[in-house]
Amino acid sequence: MLAEIITIGDEILIGQVVDTNSAWMASKLNDAGIRVKQITSVSDERTHILEALAAGCERADVLLITGGLGPTKDDITKKTLAEYFGVGFKSDEATLEQVRKIFARNNRPLLEVNIRQADVPENCTVLLNKNGTAPGMWFEYNGKIIISMPGVPFEMMYLVEEEVIPRLKVRFELSSIVHHTMLTAGVGESFLAEEIADIEDSLPAHIKLAYLPKLGQVRLRLSGYGESRDELTREIGVFSTRIRERVGDFVVTDEDKPLEKALLDLMESKRLTLSVAESCTGGYLSHLITQHPGCSSVFVGGTVTYSNQLKQSVLGVLPETLAEKGAVSQETVTEMAEGARKNFGSDFAVAISGVAGPDGGTPQKPVGTVWVAVAGKNETVTKLFKFGNRRAQNIERAAVNAIILLLARVKGLA
Amino acid sequence: MLAEIITIGDEILIGQVVDTNSAWMASKLNDAGIRVKQITSVSDERTHILEALAAGCERADVLLITGGLGPTKDDITKKTLAEYFGVGFKSDEATLEQVRKIFARNNRPLLEVNIRQADVPENCTVLLNKNGTAPGMWFEYNGKIIISMPGVPFEMMYLVEEEVIPRLKVRFELSSIVHHTMLTAGVGESFLAEEIADIEDSLPAHIKLAYLPKLGQVRLRLSGYGESRDELTREIGVFSTRIRERVGDFVVTDEDKPLEKALLDLMESKRLTLSVAESCTGGYLSHLITQHPGCSSVFVGGTVTYSNQLKQSVLGVLPETLAEKGAVSQETVTEMAEGARKNFGSDFAVAISGVAGPDGGTPQKPVGTVWVAVAGKNETVTKLFKFGNRRAQNIERAAVNAIILLLARVKGLA
């Protein structure tokens, strides 16, 4: 069974927003055994939407559409769907009640356009949107299923999880898709590929291997497509074990989780705690860690000491160090890490100090210069990085490399 | 002139990565006066790529393709392009030299697959990729231009900015696209739409108004399409002034910038400094602020006091307050904000304490309960929020609402 995703909205096509909905939906559909054939983003234009619907129905059994369901005039998805099906509109009572409830709860006046939110094409089965005023809509047309949802992420998420996936499971005999991902750090993809070339060549046609490189990391993903989930899992297990035997030194985790989550899990298993002192990464490393539920068993806290004054008062960096060596130096980052470890009372502390850019660079310390320190009980390890000119990327790379450095330390512990 | 974007890679269609490349490219193309008609994501499958190429060439003048250019076997874009054009391969010397240089610099052995990176279809004009080993490729075929780039964001970005856009500008007489965006906070989109309905109705056909809602914010975007940039700018200026006169109370900024950047700019213009004390948002608010260049003139620093102990030692929250009222309370968040303001020496301090979830909720303080405090010279303002169950969303909403609360305070200052 094949699905396609269509996202509607000029804001995507002019690059004003990043389409995060599609990846989320694709991942949920995969979990349910549904392959996504294509993702298409089109503008809020009647003819373009009609073309995308027709093309999607040619290729797939199910279309999931998001966007264009708001109460304002630029939202035309509902009208265009009715035109595509050649039907008129009806008012849906459950939706109307939901709209009234939301406006009453927020003490906002109910306008005519809000009442119109409850109008749906006549051939529609309403999927009640408990998180908003625009209803989800399920259509069956010429043997295909077409589902329209609002583009607001948490409204779409509710509908996919609570309505769409359960209904698709009832409707179709779904086959199985099994992914197994290994995260490696500190090694290039072509090196990995060379090391495991014979294993890759021996894969059967229904199992694919993909390499996903990303800032110092490469994820190796085995994907199997077939009838039996158990059989696929067993087969993929055989190949992943062979790969692990070959390049296991570089494997950080055998699950599809982000690097910082692998670190958190490892530290938790060893009952170690962590604090963080950030300068140029400005809270990004703390954010990476604290986005994960349960992080508080490892993460004690952190500080963003942007100013030199805070580096002294919060972390105890010596004024002489700052004056003589500068904020971006091996000495300062060492004192930051050791100060965090001591003041915050954690087993390990990571400190990052660098020039994220675009300003602040000097000939000696150009933009992209970053020092990382990891302080533990017995020693503090430091490392100097020379990244490029882009601020966002320097922040990301500094945080990722700090995690890799800490991971190596923690892995090394008995 | 119309462009389309095609991103190639199974990782997108199984939801393993979010396609951020497309929005970035679309935004750059728009700036250059090039409209993006459609964005399409397809799998690493020969037939599917061939279909997408043919369909894209039907609709657009220029195709920008990313992905599938790595050295490993799952990358088949180059081979498939050669098949589409019906040509063989040639080795590109400049690329080969670039590949050798990169491997020498990183002290990695040059493998056969790496040398093959320099092979390109015979009809290709190479766009030298100074940030990586996979070359950008420019093709002209049946009156259309097809450009293939690596999917690694900073490699693609380099090629788009340095090669693709300049070459397209030489090639085409580009028309103009002008966008003007106003950011509003604290008001719903249907209310805004009702207030400015007559202005919207009076827009000429070549100017469109869009409403982009997002967590307590609505962006109003006027987009004009035409020949003369000056004339479009003037026309849009007339309508944006009328909108501002009508709903100006809710307008945070008249530029297309994120909420926290509007805050930074406002505080900078008033020469005010800021510090941040975060608990449940775990560094996210600091990260939002510090991702912007030049933030250090406003942002002094912050702390992520995840543990109660750090709330006491870093911020001076009283043990009694924590014991009697709990970490998530009006009293604690007030002491956190006032402690940050004092200890970090800033004009304003924002503190956030809440239950992000999924664990940690109680009947009295369920997941989603968040207190925000803004401490200034003369008073501390607090606000209680009751969000939902999703951790990522609670973190985001808490940070956004803290910014809105602080913005209102700062705006109110003479």
- How many percent of chain B have pLDDT more than 70? 100
Question: The CATH number of the domain where B116 resides is what?
Answer: 3.40.980.10
Is residue B210 less than 8 Å (CB to CB) from chain A?
yes
Identify the H or E element spanning B166.
helix B165-171
Give CA–CA dist B279/A299, Å, rounded: 11
Pairing of strands A348-354, A62-66: unpaired
Same domain for A90 and A35:
yes
Whether residue A203 lies within 8 A of chain B, CB to CB, comes out as: no
Give the nearest chain A residue to B196 (CA atoms): A72
Q: A233 or B72: which carries more pLDDT confidence? A: A233
**Residue B143 distance to chain A (closest CA, Å):** 23
* pLDDT at residue A126 in the model: 97
Closest in B70, B307, B392 to A300, CB measured: B307
For A368, other C-beta atoms within 10 Å of its C-beta total: 21
In tens, the pLDDT along B333-365 reads 999 999 999 999 999 999 999 999 999 999 999
Asked if residue A132 and residue A18 are part of one domain, the reply reads yes
The verdict on B267 and B249 lying in the same domain is no
Mean pLDDT of all residues in B8-19: 93
Report cis status (omega within 30 of 0) of the bond before A358.
Answer: yes
Q: What pLDDT is stored for residue A413 in this prediction?
A: 73
Task: Decide: B151 and B68 in contact? Cβ < 8 Å.
Answer: yes
pLDDT of residue A92: 96
Identify the three-state secondary structure at position A343: helix
- Looking at the predicted structure, is the pLDDT value of residue A414 above 60? no
Q: What is the pLDDT of residues A49-63, one digit of tens each?
A: 999 999 999 999 999
- What's the rounded mean pLDDT across residues B93-121? 89
Interface residue B189 vs chain A (CB under 8 A)? yes
Res B55: pLDDT? 95
- What is the count of residue pairs from A and B with beta carbons less than 8 Å apart? 329
Question: Mean pLDDT in chain A?
Answer: 94
Q: How many CA atoms lie within 13 A of B340 on its CB side?
A: 35
Q: Give the pLDDT score at B414.
A: 52
Cα–Cα dist A372/A4, whole Å:
44
Check whether residue B138 and residue B10 sit in a common domain: yes
Coil, helix or strand at residue A245: helix
A263 pLDDT higher than 70? yes
Of B23, B70, B304, the CB nearest to A17: B23
Regarding whether A277 and A202 lie in a shared domain, the answer is no
Interchain CB contact of A34 with B (< 8 Å): no
Interface with B, mutate which of A4, A21, A39, A209 (most B CBs under 10 A): A39
Same domain flag for B18 and B120: yes
Contact list, A344 vs chain B (CB under 8 Å): 310
The 10s digit of each residue's pLDDT in A248-261 is: 989 999 888 999 99
Query: What are the pLDDT digits (tens) for B312-325?
Result: 999 999 999 999 99
- Indicate the residue among A171, A186, A211 that finishes a domain: A171
- Higher per-residue pLDDT: A306 or B336: B336
Same domain, B153 and B43: yes
**CA–CA distance, A145 with B350 (Å, rounded to integer):** 48
Residue B35 Cα, gap to closest chain A Cα (Å): 7
Domain that holds residue B218: 176-253
Cα-based distances in Å from A316 to A353, A354, A384, B358 = 15, 18, 22, 35
Supply A226's token pair.
Answer: 């077939």
Facing A16 at nearest CB: one of B212, B281, B291: B212
Residue among B284, B293, B306 minimizing CB distance to A301 = B306
> How many other CB atoms are found less than 10 A from the CB of residue A85?
18
Burial category of B414 from C-beta neighbours within 10 Å (exposed 0-12, middle 13-18, buried 19 and up): exposed
Q: What is the pLDDT of residue B186?
A: 82
Token pair of A223 as six digits: 């994907």
What CATH number is associated with residue B321? Answer: 3.90.950.20
What's the length of chain A?
414
Do the Cβ atoms of A26 and B15 come within 8 Å?
yes
What pLDDT is attached to residue A224?
94
Question: Helix, strand, coil shares of chain B as percentages rounded to 5?
Answer: 45, 25, 30
- Whole-angstrom distance, CA of residue B337 vs CA of residue B305: 12
Tell me the pLDDT tens digit for each residue of A65-112. 999 998 888 899 999 999 999 999 999 999 999 999 888 877 778 888
Nearest to B111 among A194, A208, A306 (CB): A194
**Domains held by chain A: number:** 3
> DSSP class of residue A163?
I
Last residue of a domain, one of B235, B253, B271: B253
Instruction: Quote the DSSP letter at residue B163.
Output: I
Mean pLDDT (chain B) is 94
- DSSP letter at B164 equals I
Query: How far does the CA of residue A331 sit from the closest CA of chain B (Å)?
Result: 20
Sign of CA dihedral A386, A387, A391, A394: negative
Using a CB-CB cut-off of 8 Å, the residues of chain B touching A395 are: 290-291
Q: Which CATH number fits the domain that encloses residue A222?
A: 3.30.70.2860
Q: Quick check: B73 pLDDT over 70?
A: yes
Environment class of B402 (CB within 10 Å of its CB; exposed 0-12, middle 13-18, buried 19+): buried
- Rounded to an integer, the average pLDDT of A127-152 is 95
Test B310 with A293 for CB contact under 8 angstroms.
no
A44 in contact with B at a CB cutoff of 8 Å?
yes
- Together in a domain, A310 and A290: yes
pLDDT higher than threshold 70 for residue A210? yes
Q: Across residues B91-114, what is the average pLDDT?
A: 88
Domain end marker among B143, B171, B199? B171
Q: What is the crossing angle of helices B330-344 and A308-315, to 10°?
A: 120
Q: Measure CB to CB from residue A19 to each of B19, B153, B211 and give the nearest one.
A: B19
Q: Which residue of B has its CA nearest to A40?
A: B40
Both B32 and B74 in one domain: the answer is yes
Can you give the pLDDT at residue B187? 87
- On the question of pLDDT at B215 being above 90, the answer is no
Q: Are B145 and B228 contained in the same domain?
A: no
Q: Which is it for the CA torsion B241, B242, B245, B247, positive or negative?
A: negative
Q: How far is A20 from A17, CA to CA, in rounded Å?
A: 9
Q: What is the ipTM of this complex?
A: 0.78
| Residues B278 and B389 both lie in one domain | yes
Cross-strand partners of B204: none
| Helix boundaries (H) for B348-414 | 391-412
Q: Which residues of B touch A38 (CB under 8 A)?
A: 13, 40-43, 48, 52
Residue A323 pLDDT > 60, yes or no? yes
Comparing CB atoms, the residue among B41, B55, B293 nearest residue A359 is: B293
In this complex, do B15 and A38 lie within 8 Å of one another by their Cβ atoms?
Answer: no
Chain B residues whose CB is inside 8 A of the A28 CB are 15
Query: Are residues B164 and B186 located together in one domain of the fold?
Result: no
Rounded to whole angstroms, how far apart are CA atoms A35 and B174?
Answer: 39
Per DSSP bridges, beta strands B251-253 and B299-304 are: unpaired
For A350-412, give the DSSP string.
EEEEE--SSS---SSS-TTEEEEEEE-SS-EEEEEEE--S-HHHHHHHHHHHHHHHHHHHHHH
> Which phi and psi (to 5°) does residue B71 adopt?
-80, -5
The confidence band for A412, taking pLDDT boundaries of 50, 70 and 90, is confident
Number of other CB atoms surrounding residue A19 within 10 Å: 25
Distance CA A336, CA A318 (A): 10
- Distance of alpha carbon A375 from alpha carbon A409, whole angstroms: 10
Overall average pLDDT of the B376-384 stretch: 95
Q: Which amino acid is at B59?
A: R
